[in-house]
Amino acid sequence: MRALLSLGLAIVTVSLTGCAGYKVGSTAAFPSGQHSIQIGLIQNKTLEPRLIESLNNALRKRLQQDGTYKLDSRGESDVVLTGVITRFDRSPLSVQPGDVLTVRDYSLGMTAKLTVKDRATGKILFDREVSGRTTIRSGTDLASAERQAVPLLAEDLARNATSLIVDGNW
**Cα torsion through 86, 73, 33, 81, rounded to 10:** 0
What is the pTM for the complete model shown?
0.79
CATH topology of domain 35-167: Double Stranded RNA Binding Domain (3.30.160)
Query: With a cut of 50, which residues of the chain have pLDDT below it?
Result: 24-26, 170
Cα 98 to the center of its chain, rounded Å: 38
Helix pair angle (142-167, 51-66), 10° resolution? 40
| pLDDT number for residue 139 | 80
| pLDDT number for residue 13 | 67
Helix intervals (H) in the chain: 2-17, 51-66, 142-167
* pLDDT digit string, tens, across residues 38-76: 999 999 999 999 999 999 999 999 999 999 999 998 888
SS3 169: coil
